[in-house]
């Protein structure tokens, strides 16, 4: 199968502009699975809960409907980060949606909130789920989730071959190395779609690190984007490689687990 990670710099609050940019980037892409950054349609640097509420939307909603149409047109699956409002609740989630030619939307809500997100979003309440998209079994983590090994391990134990990772990473160098570790310790593919650029609003400035990448179960980087620049990077993989958990002839990464000693 072919996996594509999309790296670009969303314009804050301009959902139509950001959707159009993604549609242009993906116009000629031939892939089975496409991953977009965290909060790709809205931007990241919300100055208040009220501002966030004005840009969040339900799932399904206008953004996911556009993504679904794009998935059907190009016959691929899309994982994308969105700000999700829930009818009848005041809570807003930093979510990722999965849509495809015949399926979705499925929703994962970011479990581990980073920094000022804790003042804006509700912590996720969805389980770490694995989705069979035909060409692979995939799991989803959003940005800071990657720093918690239990999250990736849960997905791997449930059978995920690929972890899709929409991100707005801000800590230079950390994200790319954590992804390699998660791939090796679980023997899975790890695909990060990160944004780049700087958002400056209300006297606050946040810079994003780019370097979107796809890593194989041996921790080898199959492709890595530059720190800056919009692009779509595509890699062909064999998801079945992630079903082999052997490290040596005598060692299986899951078979050797000592659940009798762990206290997690």
Any domain includes 140: yes
Is 110 part of the annotated catalytic residue set? yes
Query: What does the pLDDT profile of the chain (264 residues) look like in tens digits?
Result: 999 999 999 999 999 999 999 999 999 999 999 999 999 999 999 999 999 999 999 999 999 999 999 999 999 999 999 999 998 778 999 999 999 998 779 999 999 999 999 999 999 999 999 999 999 999 999 999 999 999 999 999 999 999 999 999 999 999 999 999 999 999 999 999 999 999 999 999 999 999 999 999 999 999 999 999 999 999 999 999 999 999 999 999 999 999 999 987
One of 15, 57, 117, 143 is an active-site residue; which one? 143
Question: Which tokens belong to 4?
Answer: 């594509």
Active-site residue (options: 15, 84, 110, 199): 110
Q: Which of 38, 117, 199, 211 is catalytic?
A: 38
Q: Is residue 236 annotated as a catalytic residue, yes or no? A: no
Query: Domain for residue 93, yes or no?
Result: yes
- Whether 259 maps to a domain, the answer reads no
Q: Is residue 205 part of a domain?
A: yes
> Into how many domains does the chain fold?
1
CATH number at 74 reads 3.60.110.10
Is 167 within the bounds of a domain?
A: yes
Q: Is 264 within a domain?
A: no
Q: Which domain holds residue 117?
A: 2-252
164 assigned to some structural domain: yes
Q: Is 143 a catalytic residue?
A: yes
Which of 183, 165, 176, 175 is CA-nearest to residue 219? 183
Q: Has residue 145 been placed in a domain?
A: yes
Model pTM greater than 0.75?
A: yes
């Amino acid at each position: 199968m072919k996996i594509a990670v999309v790296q670009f710099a969303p314009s804050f609050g301009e959902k139509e502009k950001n959707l159009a940019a993604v549609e242009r980037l993906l116009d000629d892409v031939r892939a089975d699975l496409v991953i977009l950054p965290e909060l790709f349609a809205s931007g990241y640097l919300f100055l208040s809960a009220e501002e966030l509420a004005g840009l969040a939307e339900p799932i399904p909603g206008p953004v996911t409907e556009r993504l679904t149409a794009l998935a059907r047109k190009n016959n691929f699956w899309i994982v994308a980060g969105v700000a999700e409002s829930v009818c009848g609740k005041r809570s807003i989630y930093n979510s990722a949606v999965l849509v495809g030619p015949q399926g979705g939307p499925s929703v994962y809500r970011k479990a581990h909130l980073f920094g000022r997100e804790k003042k804006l979003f509700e912590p996720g309440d969805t389980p770490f789920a694995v989705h069979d998209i035909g060409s692979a079994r995939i799991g989803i983590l959003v940005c800071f989730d990657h720093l918690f090994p239990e999250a990736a391990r849960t997905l791997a134990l449930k059978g995920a071959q690929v972890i899709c990772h929409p991100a707005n990473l801000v800590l230079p160098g950390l994200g790319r190395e954590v992804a390699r570790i998660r791939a090796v310790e679980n023997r899975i593919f790890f695909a990060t779609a990160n944004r780049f650029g700087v958002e400056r609003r209300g006297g606050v400035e946040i810079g994003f690190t780019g370097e979107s990448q796809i890593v194989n179960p041996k921790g080898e980087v199959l492709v890595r984007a530059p720190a800056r620049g919009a692009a779509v990077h595509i890699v062909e993989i064999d998801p079945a490689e992630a079903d082999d958990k052997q490290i040596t002839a005598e060692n299986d990464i899951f078979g050797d687990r000592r659940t009798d000693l762990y206290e997690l």
